[in-house]
Amino acid sequence: MGRPQHDLRAVTDGLYGRRPVAPRRGDESLRDDSHRPDGVQSIYRRLVEHSRDSFLVIDGNGLIVFCNPAAKTLFGGTVENLQGRHFGLPFGPDGASTPIELVTPDGQPQFLEMSASAVSWHGDTATLVVLSDVTNRRERETLTEIHTAALETAANGVFITDRAGKIKWVNDALAQMTGYTKDELLEMNADQIKSGDGGAADTGAITAQLNAGKPWRGRVISRRKNGESYTAEETTTPISDSAGRWSYFVSVQEDISERLRTQDQLVRLSKYDSLTGLPNRNQFMDRLQAALVRADRVGAAVAVMVMDLDNFKAINNSLGHAAGDVVIKTVAERVSKLMRTTDTLARLGGGDFGILLENVTDMAAASRTVRRILDCFRLPIKVEGQLLKIGASLGIAAYPKDDTQPAALMRQAELAMYQAKAQGGHAFKYFDRDMDADIRQRVQLESDLRRAIDNGELWLAYQPQLDLVSRRIVGAEALIRWTHPTRGLVGPGDFIPLAESCGLILPIGDWIIREICRQSMEFTRAGLPDLQLGFNVSGVQFRQRDLFQQVMSSLNRTGLPVQALDIEITETVAMERGGLAQENVDRLTAAGISISMDDFGTGYSSLSNLQTFPVRRLKVDASFVRGIGQNRDDEKIVEAVVRLGQSLGLTVVAEGVESSGQMDFLKDRDCDEIQGFLLSKPLPPTDFIRFVENFHH
């Protein structure tokens, strides 16, 4: 530490280096005191001999002529007799004390204080050197410095007070926590940083405990300079003075306000939905459990409901998640208003809500609530400037009628909800035992469908499309059919959604692509003119990486030109921004394959999206076509869609044309093509070939 370090060995080497010179007076004791009275002399002698300090007398030649036992010990017994050896340390000025730092042979620092004073030694001038070992004191001092530095830099606030509570010392962290400067704090009493609103503990008890010498630990509410209060975890330890009284108190404060806030938030997160602030599924299940216990006590019933927004996924996919969030929030607000204080509305996830009605006296009352819930969807929801019409499907299970277990009740309510959805949505259904049977049937159908591909039970029906200008059949839409071994013909509406939900749509989709290419070759071989064959691809398939590959390899295998195919996609798929669906659409279009937007007008796509979307054909949904001649609004929509398609250079196809009146209306509006029962139902391939051959318009 700044001072010159002397290697003890060097000092003693200096001593070793010389041959011991015989002392002029071969005696270890201080002799030149003959003039002193004997008693005093012997006291001095004892003092020197027993002193812990080392005494050495150095003569004018720098040789040690006297040393006491402490000096021998100091130099480690390395030198048996120091006398006559050279003393290697430089003296300071007479009488002054010089700090000396040595290194012992085993490398430990040793701190000495050396004072030198001129003395007379047997008539000659000599120097009396006193060396005091201050290593221990130095260590203590260093430790104190370290402690202070540690407290100073500690992240927790530290302050020391006296018995009167006056602040005697503070660290930076306390200054930061309280907003006062250190100087301000040193002028203050500890009470002044206490908030006064009591905090956790009673001050009298704390003082008594501290005065008994016991540390105190607990929560306190403190106040910052700006008046804001904070909660701190504080430990105060009494420190006794030399008289043994507890006169200083060291307090360490940790500001835990932030931690408490995050804890609160975590509790909220684990129980509540962050978007709506409604209870989440966990909390809903807890409440359901509690509600069942309460209902038992009073002999009441509980209605457990699950509500799912219809087409919520489609909204999320086509308009984006922010839009989906708006819908969820609006629904949550509207339905909340209908709840009594004893009811619970929870968000279970996605577009799923849970509703708990307690104290239900009769199920008719529950039905009334459900109707009111459905009614509140009547008003469209405004999202990004568009008005969306949203529906919801609800399923209800009743306690104790249907089951007594929360999980079973939830499953039953869900089942009922699926039934409501399967029957067109925006409705509610009570759970009944038959639904379990429906589920078993579904499972059976699924396993049948798995075998259907290999058993050759699937086939494609073709529905012709007529060009209204050339009056020729220019294409057909392939529609899947399943001839079930026992049920007979099953329509796509009865198994495509099932196939989509269980993943079977992928092998089925793969089969369709191969089959349509094969069939197209058959049609050519049968002598039919070049036809564009459209087929439906579901969203699940579009989100598969290899869709593009599948289509291209089927085309390559059969040698069909890309113009031979047309892929029908729904608006939902078309509007998916980014992702694999978009990538597949882009790659297919780039390869020259035509894409049609199916069921146009029923989805949530905005018309402006059409401009940027690489679709070649627009299929006006049958529901609008059906209104031609009956509903002025539908006619206007058809007109508008046809005009829109034309302005974008798209081919407009009208679906579901059943009457010649509808056809004439469409022809007058310059619609390009029609498809529907007026021309033909979807036909098996051989019938289709015959139809095209015989078609004369």
User: How far is 396 from 621, CA to CA, in rounded Å?
Assistant: 33
Local structure of residue 13 (DSSP, 8 states)? H
SS3 readout for 320-332? CHHHHHHHHHHHH
User: How far is 61 from 124, CA to CA, in rounded Å?
Assistant: 11
Q: How far is the CB of 325 from ligand C2E (least distance, A)?
A: 29
Residue 255 or 672 having the CB closest to ligand C2E: 672
Query: Do residues 534 and 548 lie in contact, with contact meaning Cβ atoms separated by under 8 Å?
Result: no
Local structure of residue 615 (DSSP, 8 states)? -
Residue 412 or 675 having the CB closest to Mg ion: 675
Indicate left, alpha or beta for 532 from its phi (over 0: left) and psi (-120 to 50: alpha).
beta
Local structure of residue 25 (DSSP, 8 states)? S
Q: How far is the CB of 600 from Mg ion (least distance, A)?
A: 8
State yes or no: residue 544 binds ligand C2E (CB under 6 A).
Answer: no
User: How far is 438 from 454, CA to CA, in rounded Å?
Assistant: 25
Cα distances from 73 to residues 49, 51, 79, 259, in angstroms, run 12, 12, 9, 58
State yes or no: residue 598 binds Mg ion (CB under 5 A).
Answer: yes
Residue 393 or 536 having the CB closest to Mg ion: 536
Quote the distance between the C-alpha of residue 573 and its chain's center: 29
Q: How far is the CB of 596 from Mg ion (least distance, A)?
A: 8
637-666 footprint of ligand C2E as x/- string (CB under 6 A):
------------------xxxx--------
Query: Do residues 4 and 99 lie in contact, with contact meaning Cβ atoms separated by under 8 Å?
Result: no
Residue 171 or 317 having the CB closest to ligand C2E: 317
Among 538, 550, 605, 651, binds ligand C2E (CB under 6 A): 538
Quote the distance between the C-alpha of residue 256 and its chain's center: 23
Residue 44 or 677 having the CB closest to ligand C2E: 677
3-class DSSP assignment, residue 177: helix
Q: Where does this chain touch ligand C2E (CB under 6 A) — which range of 70-78, 124-132, 297-305, 676-684?
A: 676-684
Selection from ligand C2E, Mg ion, none that 677 binds (CB < 5 to 8 A by kind) is ligand C2E
User: How far is 136 from 158, CA to CA, in rounded Å?
Assistant: 28
State yes or no: residue 566 binds Mg ion (CB under 5 A).
Answer: no
Amino acid present at 484 = H
Sign of CA dihedral 85, 88, 90, 91: negative
Q: How far is the CB of 678 from ligand C2E (least distance, A)?
A: 7
Selection from ligand C2E, Mg ion, none that 645 binds (CB < 5 to 8 A by kind) is none
State yes or no: residue 536 binds Mg ion (CB under 5 A).
Answer: yes
Query: Do residues 106 and 75 lie in contact, with contact meaning Cβ atoms separated by under 8 Å?
Result: no
Q: Spell out a b/e string for 16-35, using b for 16 or more CB atoms within 10 Å of the CB, else e.
A: eeeebeebeeeebebebeee
Q: How far is the CB of 535 from ligand C2E (least distance, A)?
A: 6
Residue 343 or 598 having the CB closest to Mg ion: 598
Structure tokens at 470: 């050339």
Residue 30 or 537 having the CB closest to ligand C2E: 537
Residue 308 or 568 having the CB closest to Mg ion: 568
Among 210, 410, 479, 547, binds ligand C2E (CB under 6 A): 479
603-642 footprint of ligand C2E as x/- string (CB under 6 A):
-------------------x--------------------
Residue 413 or 537 having the CB closest to ligand C2E: 537
Task: At 467, give phi and psi (nearest 5°).
Answer: -85, 120
Q: How far is the CB of 416 from ligand C2E (least distance, A)?
A: 25
Residue 312 or 535 having the CB closest to ligand C2E: 535
Q: How far is the CB of 658 from ligand C2E (least distance, A)?
A: 4
Q: How far is the CB of 599 from Mg ion (least distance, A)?
A: 4
State yes or no: residue 491 binds ligand C2E (CB under 6 A).
Answer: yes
Nearest to ligand C2E by Cβ — which residue? 676
Among 310, 568, 571, 672, binds Mg ion (CB under 5 A): 568
State yes or no: residue 677 binds ligand C2E (CB under 6 A).
Answer: yes
From the list 180, 130, 138, 136, the residue with the least C-alpha distance to 157 is: 180
Q: How many residues bind Mg ion (CB under 5 A)?
A: 5
Selection from ligand C2E, Mg ion, none that 492 binds (CB < 5 to 8 A by kind) is ligand C2E
Structure tokens at 89: 């340390």
Continuous H helices in 566-631 = 571-574, 579-590, 607-612, 622-625
State yes or no: residue 599 binds Mg ion (CB under 5 A).
Answer: yes
Among 369, 393, 463, 596, binds ligand C2E (CB under 6 A): 463
Residue 359 burial class via C-beta count within 10 angstroms: exposed 0-12, middle 13-18, buried 19 and up: middle
User: How far is 697 from 385, CA to CA, in rounded Å?
Assistant: 46
Helices 406-422 and 433-454 sit at what angle, rounded to 10 degrees?
Answer: 60
User: How far is 89 from 92, CA to CA, in rounded Å?
Assistant: 9
Structure tokens at 186: 């040193």
State yes or no: residue 475 binds ligand C2E (CB under 6 A).
Answer: no
Residue 353 burial class via C-beta count within 10 angstroms: exposed 0-12, middle 13-18, buried 19 and up: buried
Among 496, 506, 580, 640, binds ligand C2E (CB under 6 A): 496
Q: How far is the CB of 446 from ligand C2E (least distance, A)?
A: 16
Structure tokens at 385: 């400037």
Q: Which residues contact 635 (CB under 8 A, 6 or more apart)?
A: 627, 628, 629, 665
Among 316, 393, 536, 605, binds ligand C2E (CB under 6 A): 536
State yes or no: residue 493 binds ligand C2E (CB under 6 A).
Answer: yes
State yes or no: residue 581 binds ligand C2E (CB under 6 A).
Answer: no
Query: Do residues 127 and 58 lie in contact, with contact meaning Cβ atoms separated by under 8 Å?
Result: yes
Residue 343 or 655 having the CB closest to ligand C2E: 655
Residue 99 or 627 having the CB closest to Mg ion: 627
Selection from ligand C2E, Mg ion, none that 432 binds (CB < 5 to 8 A by kind) is none
Helix H or strand E encompassing 208: helix 203-211
3-class DSSP assignment, residue 529: coil
Q: Where does this chain touch ligand C2E (CB under 6 A) — which range of 122-130, 188-196, 291-299, 675-683?
A: 675-683
User: How far is 449 from 58, CA to CA, in rounded Å?
Assistant: 113
Chain residues 629-668 in contact with Mg ion, contact rule CB under 5 A: 655
Q: Where does this chain touch Mg ion (CB under 5 A) — which range of 63-71, 365-373, 599-607, 625-633?
A: 599-607
Q: How many residues bind ligand C2E (CB under 6 A)?
A: 23
State yes or no: residue 310 binds Mg ion (CB under 5 A).
Answer: no
Q: How far is the CB of 499 from ligand C2E (least distance, A)?
A: 8
DSSP bridge pairs for 307: 353, 394
Residues near ligand C2E (CB under 6 A): 463, 479-480, 491-493, 496, 512, 535-538, 568, 598-599, 622, 655-658, 676-677, 682
Footprint of Mg ion (CB under 5 A) = 536, 568, 598-599, 655
